[in-house]
């Protein structure tokens, strides 16, 4: 049977798929290319043989196994319309909560504070998260925050004698650099595979909203999600996330989130409990040969700006439609997707320097990023009865609009509808999602949410 290639992400629903195809280092590899391999005692026929063992002995204690227990919603099959008369409401499409168990990996990035970074899809909807250290200790973890759009989550454990992994500057990676992947595939326990950087800046794969992947041929399999991709110095260069392969199997095409992108996101989670995503305020596309010819450009790479939103960060900085952004903070930008991913991982109110081609000349603009007001905050994290509602800030009305309400969700059962505008709680004026979250954080009992529906004010009671 002919098998077609498909893209899959590893998840707790038995979709955890991160694969690093084992690539053996040649015995002719010069020892001087990797300081961690120096002074090795192993010899064969009088010749010193290279080994990754010294480096791995140092870094593998920083990689943990993650097991999760939780529940997720499963939609029941609809009863045909012809029979709904006999079944009444039972004939409607209803959701059921079903338990699940999942496996993944994580990386300790701060031993003093017990911070562990992993993929969001590994721990999403988990009711209990257990960490297994290399020395066999099992400790329950607390979720500090996550970002579904970039698939990053931060956990914390309370334990002594932890080993953290040093972060590398992933912007310095080159195609051909050696890589080592560490994780716990298929629940077998800690496993190491090796390969090289196959490509950089992979995007438009429809794995995540913000994509700027490192591609590697090191083997990643189910259970490796959230594990470490390291260089030969034992430094973290990426968080393993997804593979491209038939049926979720390894064919030597794996993807990892760059360490710099991860670090930017985790820093925001530590500070705010969530990602305050920066936004530039432009739309555009990647430069190709046709655009380069039409615009008389000397480069076929970069981000062509088609539109600049009024009053946006780009507009205030002086960037115009027709500009081509070729670098950010002095480092090359190859595509619009790369620009979007890098801007999206940098926090709001941060300043960046963008190098732009305009009328054949290079110009540098300093841009202060604004906060992405459309960045979705999980409604369920604000209140359980808002689960299933998609909330968006309405800056003009200084209120919260409910864009969508999922069928059979707690939000729908509470009485919320798409188009409702939340303006207050318990007689207190609420202007945005952050204010709503802060107000409800320590509240219990019955709460009265003031909403506007069809230009009429009313209250919905939740508890």
- The residues that are catalytic are 121, 151, 225
Q: List the structure tokens of 230.
A: 């390291």
User: Which residue bears the tokens 């329950």?
Assistant: 140
SS3 437: helix
CA-closest candidate to residue 131, choices 110, 148, 154, 156: 156
Q: What are phi and psi of 420, to 5 degrees?
A: -60, 145
CA-closest candidate to residue 357, choices 312, 395, 301: 301
CA-closest candidate to residue 381, choices 447, 434, 444: 434
CA-closest candidate to residue 223, choices 388, 19, 426: 19
Q: How far apart are CA 393 and CA 348, in angstroms?
A: 16
Q: List the structure tokens of 448.
A: 């009265």
Q: How far apart are CA 400 and CA 421, in angstroms?
A: 6
The neighbouring-strand residues paired with 392 are 401
Q: How far apart are CA 122 and CA 31, in angstroms?
A: 37
Q: Residue 359: which residues within 8 A CB-CB, separation 6 or more?
A: none
């Amino acid at each position: 049977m002919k098998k077609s290639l498909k893209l899959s992400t590893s998840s707790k629903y038995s979709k955890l798929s991160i694969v690093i195809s084992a690539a053996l280092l040649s015995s002719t590899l010069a020892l001087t290319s990797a300081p961690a391999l120096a002074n090795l005692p192993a010899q064969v026929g009088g010749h010193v043989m290279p080994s990754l063992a010294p480096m791995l002995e140092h870094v593998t204690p920083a990689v943990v196994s993650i097991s999760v227990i939780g529940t997720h919603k499963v939609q029941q099959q609809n009863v045909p319309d012809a029979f709904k008369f006999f079944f009444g409401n039972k004939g409607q499409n209803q959701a059921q909560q079903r338990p699940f168990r999942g496996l993944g990996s994580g990386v300790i990035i701060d031993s003093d504070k017990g911070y562990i970074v992993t993929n969001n899809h590994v721990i999403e909807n988990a009711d209990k998260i257990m960490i297994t250290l290399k020395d066999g200790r099992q400790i329950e973890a607390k979720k500090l925050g996550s970002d579904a759009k970039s698939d990053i989550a931060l956990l914390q454990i309370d334990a002594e004698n932890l080993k953290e992994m040093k972060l590398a500057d992933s912007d310095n990676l080159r195609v051909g650099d050696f890589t080592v992947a560490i994780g716990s595939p298929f629940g077998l326990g800690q496993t190491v595979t090796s390969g090289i950087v196959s490509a950089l800046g992979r995007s438009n794969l429809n794995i995540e909203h913000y994509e700027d992947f490192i591609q590697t041929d090191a083997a990643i399999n189910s259970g490796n999600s959230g594990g470490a991709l390291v260089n030969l110095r034992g430094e973290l260069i990426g968080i393993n996330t997804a593979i491209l392969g038939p049926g979720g199997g390894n064919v030597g095409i794996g993807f990892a989130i760059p360490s710099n992108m991860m670090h930017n996101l985790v820093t925001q989670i530590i500070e705010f409990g969530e990602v305050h995503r920066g936004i530039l305020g432009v739309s555009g596309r990647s430069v190709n040969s046709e655009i380069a010819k039409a615009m008389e450009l000397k480069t076929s790479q970069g981000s062509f700006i088609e539109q600049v939103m009024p009053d946006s960060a780009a507009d205030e900085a002086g960037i115009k439609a027709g500009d081509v952004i070729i670098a950010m903070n002095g480092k090359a930008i190859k595509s619009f997707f790369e620009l979007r991913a890098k801007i999206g991982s940098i926090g709001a109110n941060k300043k960046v320097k963008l190098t732009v081609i305009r009328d054949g000349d290079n110009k540098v603009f300093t841009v202060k990023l604004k906060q992405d007001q459309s960045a979705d905050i999980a409604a369920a994290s604000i209140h359980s009865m808002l689960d299933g509602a998609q909330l968006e800030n309405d800056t003009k009305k200084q209120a919260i609009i409910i864009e969508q309400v999922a069928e059979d969700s707690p939000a729908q059962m509470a009485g919320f509808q798409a188009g409702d505008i939340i303006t207050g709680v318990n007689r207190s004026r609420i202007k945005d999602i952050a204010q709503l979250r802060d107000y409800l954080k320590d509240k219990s009992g019955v709460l009265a949410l003031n909403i506007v529906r069809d230009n009429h004010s009313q209250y919905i009671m939740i508890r």
